[in-house]
Amino acid sequence: MTPYALVLHGGAVTLRPGELSPEEAAFQRQGLRQALQAGWEILHQGGPALDAVEAAVRTLEDNPHFNAGRGASLTRQGEAELDAAIMDGRTLQAGAVSGVRYVQNPIALARIVLEHSPHVFLTGDGALELALEHGLPLAPPGYFQTAKTRQQWLELAGQEPTPLSGHDTVGAVALDQAGNLAVATSTGGIEGQRKGRVGDSPVLGGGTYASNEACAVSCTGDGELIMRGALAHEVYALVKYRNLPLAEACQAAVHLRDDELRGDKGLIALDPHGNVALAFNTNVMRRAYRVGEGEPYVAIFRDE
């Protein structure tokens, strides 16, 4: 039997000691555990990887302690502009949305793009129109804001975003019992980003990629770097064309052109054999996985 598995991230970031309070870390661990359970249950019942990654990411989007859906980073204008992508490793079908406002679960909208539209990537008002047509739950701008993101917005308003701007984007990769891979990634981008800025998360091959031929990959970190390195596709290419073991491919991708692509980078990956890889160059990456009926693993700091 295929060793079904689910791997999640809740963002990779470089933090100063004490910057993440024990209370916030506890909320994030709990959120990862909940999302892991939501996606794992589907795989355990024999459901598809695509459903599992969507369910896990929806759970994290609904959780205000992560930068996706509710709790997303705000633009300089103080609004959440949400990006998400989902990809089916079996068929290479994919759906992506960017610059979406009012949609509570951008990953559900990306799934609708995948299933009900002839397109792959919709942005802004066009994406919102599709959400309205399909009756997805909407919410006013205040729903997405939290005390933390409002405070960050006040501090950053008017400044250029820095590479340290919080990365708690969420992502999931899954392998189901039929041997199919899938990936989903969702984000509010980086704190204080310009209106209209889009990062790597919804870009296929940038921050999100899945193919049964090699692996499923979801990235987090400085989106500008991840896109320029096409890191999700880099992992795929290293596995497929160089036959690198998944963990080595992930390490190589994180360190690709380190001099030019200097900044925070993290990724999670799974291959069709159920190998799990987690690679990051930061001191924090919220992460979790469960393989088959094995014990769930949940961690935040590098050295745990």
Any contact of residue 290 with ligand ASP (CB under 6 A)?
no
State the nearest-atom distance from the C-beta of 219 to ligand ASP, in Å.
Answer: 6
Q: By rule CB under 6 A, what string of x and - marks binding of each residue 30-69 to ligand ASP? A: -------------------------------------x--
Using H for helix, E for strand and C for coil, what is the string for the chain? Answer: CCCCEEEEEEEEECCCCCCCCHHHHHHHHHHHHHHHHHHHHHHHCCCCHHHHHHHHHHHHHCCCCCCCCCCCCCECCCCCCEEEEEEECCCCCEEEEEEECCECCHHHHHHHHHHHCCCCEEEHHHHHHHHHHCCCCECCHHHHCCHHHHHHHHHHCCCCCCCCCCCCCEEEEEECCCCCEEEEEEECCCCCECCCCCCCCCCECCCEEEECCCEEEEEEECHHHHHHHCHHHHHHHHHHHHCCCHHHHHHHHHCCCCCCCCCCEEEEEECCCCCEEEEECCCEEEEEEEECCCCCEEEEECCC
Q: How far apart are the first and last CA of the chain?
A: 31
Any contact of residue 220 with ligand ASP (CB under 6 A)?
yes
State the pairing for strand pair 265-270/82-88.
unpaired
Any contact of residue 282 with ligand ASP (CB under 6 A)?
no
Any contact of residue 205 with ligand ASP (CB under 6 A)?
no
Any contact of residue 169 with ligand ASP (CB under 6 A)?
yes
Stretch that binds ligand ASP, among 44-52, 103-111, 200-208, 231-239 (CB under 6 A): 200-208
**Of 169 and 180, which has the nearer Cβ to ligand ASP?**
169
Any contact of residue 99 with ligand ASP (CB under 6 A)?
no
Any contact of residue 200 with ligand ASP (CB under 6 A)?
yes
**Of 16 and 118, which has the nearer Cβ to ligand ASP?**
16
State the nearest-atom distance from the C-beta of 283 to ligand ASP, in Å.
Answer: 15
* 146 assigned to active site: no
Any contact of residue 190 with ligand ASP (CB under 6 A)?
yes
Any contact of residue 223 with ligand ASP (CB under 6 A)?
yes
Rg value, the chain, Cα: 17
**Of 47 and 189, which has the nearer Cβ to ligand ASP?**
189
Q: By rule CB under 6 A, what string of x and - marks binding of each residue 7-36 to ligand ASP? A: ----x-------------------------
State the nearest-atom distance from the C-beta of 273 to ligand ASP, in Å.
Answer: 27
Number of residues that bind ligand ASP (CB under 6 A): 16
Interaction site with ligand ASP (CB under 6 A): 11, 67, 167-169, 187, 189-190, 199-201, 207, 220-221, 223, 226
